[in-house]
Structure 1
């Protein structure tokens, strides 16, 4: 079917999904324009004309990633949970499920982007940090709702976020799913073992 004059003749959303996978697989530094055009199937003109430069495309890809996966974290954290350990377990299960999905690259786009902070421009760095801070804050809220004290919730949220990111790194290094599940289970058990908040 011939597109009307001036209308894009490709699926913009699908092209963005493919660009997201290129950044996810290679990281910002190694996601060259050649790799982006090959991965999306678009020419340079269409790529720049639709998404802007590489940094703008990266931010759009990061936003697409967050729109896809962060609602899964929200659903997992919404509870109710019987205790802080269950919150950590539910949060990390989302990461394990994503890592186990053969349709997406190993690891996590947010994690690989955080490891390449020096290569990102200021706006992109701010976006990466804001997404991570948002996950941490939501974790704290869920932990408080599950009975953790304020200090306990803050510590557990930071540790759960760190464990989440470490799972992504280990998966990139080829650690099997059984090892990743062991790490996640240990983090949840540690959360369960913390003392109750003062009365």
Structure 2
């Protein structure tokens, strides 16, 4: 329409995502979102709905970028679950070290603030953690370990991922973060190796 202001919706969503990522949901104001996107409140509401609705769209945007990378890493080494987990942490550490994005992880930031989120948004965050856990669990499946061990390892890997995000926001060095990831991979490898030895002994 003539005279109607045009803007890049995808670009505005990316900017809003960065604000939520940097500040967290509770500390993200409409003024901050407007300043980052260049949109007034009316345009924000008209385009994205409420702050809560915009937040969920930002979560989806985040997953569309990084979730794909996690999936690719975890599926790139069929038959080698340890290498898959190593690749998963490689992607995470590269994101953390990327100076062009906020420190940490939007999902980890949001999970920490779950008590302050609306129920629908809190459910979405929990669901995203479940998806991540299932991806890891699938990558570990090609192993002789029993289901309970694999379930526990998948939860452990996701917990380490979330811890890396929190530590990075606290200023932990890249070398220290890589040490944490390395020890986590060793734990996965040792646990799977013990399972393989037990399985072989039973044959």
Q: CA deviation at 1:67?
A: 0.6
DSSP 3-state at the match of 2:39: coil
Residue 184 of structure 2 is aligned to residue 196 of structure 1: no
| Cα drift, residue 196 of structure 1 | 2.1
Does the CA-based 8 Å contact 1:23-1:58 persist in structure 2?
Answer: yes
CA distance in 2: counterparts of 1:8 and 1:164, whole angstroms: 41
Equivalent residue for 2:170, pick from 170, 173, 176: 173
- Over aligned residues, Cα RMSD in angstroms? 1.5
Distance 1:164 1:172, change over 3 A: same
Provide the C-alpha distance between the structure 1 equivalents of 2:34 and 2:62, rounded to a whole number of angstroms. Answer: 19
The equivalent position to 1:138 in structure 2, one of 122, 135, 138, is: 135
Aligned position for 2:11: 14
Q: Does the CA-based 8 Å contact 2:79-2:142 persist in structure 1?
A: no
Residue in 2 that maps onto 1:40 = 37
Q: Structure 1 residue 8: deviation in Å?
A: 5.1
Match of 1:58 among 55, 59, 74: 55
Say which of 14, 22, 25 aligns to 2:22. Answer: 25
Q: How does 1:57-136 map to 2 (within 5 A)?
A: 57-81=54-78, 83-136=80-133
Contact 1:28 1:58 in 2 (8 A): yes
Q: How many residues align?
A: 196
Deviations 1:39-66 (A, max 9, x none): 1111111111100110000000000001
For residue 6 of structure 1, report the CA deviation from its aligned partner. 7.7
Check the 8 A contact 1:85/1:191 in 2, yes or no: yes
Structure 1 moving runs of 4+ over 4 Å = none
Greater shift in the superposed pair: 8-17 or 79-88: 79-88
Q: Distance in 2 between matches of 1:156 and 1:87?
A: 13
Bigger relative CO (Cα 8 Å, ≥ 6 apart): 1
* Uncovered stretches (5+) of structure 2, i.e. residues with no partner: none
Q: Does 1:163 align with 2:160?
A: yes
Contact 1:17 1:64 (8 Å CA) reproduced: yes
Shift of 1:89: 1.2
